[in-house]
């Protein structure tokens, strides 16, 4: 279903979020205070506009209150990021996701009601570290402090075995959410599905259990 997103702040993060949402077929309003940033987005957004994200009148004139989702991707200017997030929540925007620069910034955004706080550099750093730590882990998504989803290649030891034979949930306490084979993803794996060596597993669980599972494979 087509959704309406507004992205305020078109640095590297804001631009990549806007482009991806637009590519996925959604309506995207891309806003920045800097006209050259806005020009860059003319062909990669539904509408683009030069405006100050801390100017309530300008935001209202752009019809920001009609958007269900607004992403505040203002980077270095903490004051502007905080004020913009506060204004959006005060104007009644349902879902405001804001990018935080550091832990203090995160705390303030949380207090003023940001619905999700994103740390792109920190999250990417974690993922790269997880990837480097294990040659089997292709990707790692942190769900909370203790729980994650990992994407892991099927090792030789599991080749041609069924999920029932491997009994992964009972042995490790982790759950296989899906199996990727080439371009296809099986999102409801059955007990008699047979794994092949080039498959990729999506596994959810407690970080300790996931680690045990990775190490055993």
Nearest to 199 by CA among 162, 148, 174, 149: 162
In this complex, which beta carbon is closest to ligand ADP, that of residue 4 or of residue 77?
77
Q: Are 203 and 150 in contact (CB under 8 A)?
A: yes
In this complex, which beta carbon is closest to ligand ADP, that of residue 16 or of residue 134?
16
Helix (H) or strand (E) holding 204: strand 200-206
Question: What DSSP designation does 193 have?
Answer: P
Q: How far is the CB of 107 from ligand ADP (least distance, A)?
A: 19
Q: How far is the CB of 51 from ligand ADP (least distance, A)?
A: 7
In this complex, which beta carbon is closest to ligand ADP, that of residue 9 or of residue 205?
9
C-alpha to C-alpha distance for 207 and 11, rounded to whole angstroms: 33
Residues of this chain that interact with ligand ADP (CB under 6 A) are 8-14, 32-34, 37, 52-54, 73-77, 80
In this complex, which beta carbon is closest to ligand ADP, that of residue 14 or of residue 205?
14
In this complex, which beta carbon is closest to ligand ADP, that of residue 121 or of residue 165?
121
Q: Are 140 and 129 in contact (CB under 8 A)?
A: no
Count CB-CB contacts under 10 A for residue 88. 28
Nearest to 59 by CA among 35, 29, 36, 82: 29
Give the distance between the most distant pair of CA atoms in the chain. 63
């Amino acid at each position: 279903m087509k959704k309406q997103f507004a992205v305020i702040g078109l640095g590297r993060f804001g631009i990549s979020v806007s482009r991806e949402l637009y590519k996925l077929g959604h309506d995207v309003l891309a806003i920045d205070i800097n006209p050259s940033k806005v020009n860059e987005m003319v062909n990669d957004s539904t509408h683009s506009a030069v405006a100050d994200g801390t100017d309530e009148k300008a935001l209202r004139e752009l019809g920001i209150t009609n958007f269900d989702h607004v992403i505040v991707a203002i980077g270095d200017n903490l004051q502007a990021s905080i004020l913009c997030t506060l204004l959006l929540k005060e104007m009644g925007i349902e879902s405001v996701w804001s990018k935080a620069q550091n832990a203090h910034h995160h705390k303030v955004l949380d207090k003023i009601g940001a619905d999700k706080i994103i740390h792109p550099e920190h999250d990417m750093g974690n993922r790269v570290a997880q990837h480097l730590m294990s040659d089997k882990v292709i990707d790692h998504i942190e769900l909370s402090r203790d729980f994650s989803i990992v994407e892991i290649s099927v090792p030789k030891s599991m080749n041609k075995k069924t999920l029932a034979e491997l009994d992964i949930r009972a042995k490790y306490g982790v759950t296989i959410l899906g199996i990727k084979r080439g371009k296809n993803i099986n999102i409801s794996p059955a007990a008699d599905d047979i794994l092949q060596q080039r498959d990729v597993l999506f596994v959810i669980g407690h970080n300790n259990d996931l680690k045990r599972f990775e190490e055993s494979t």
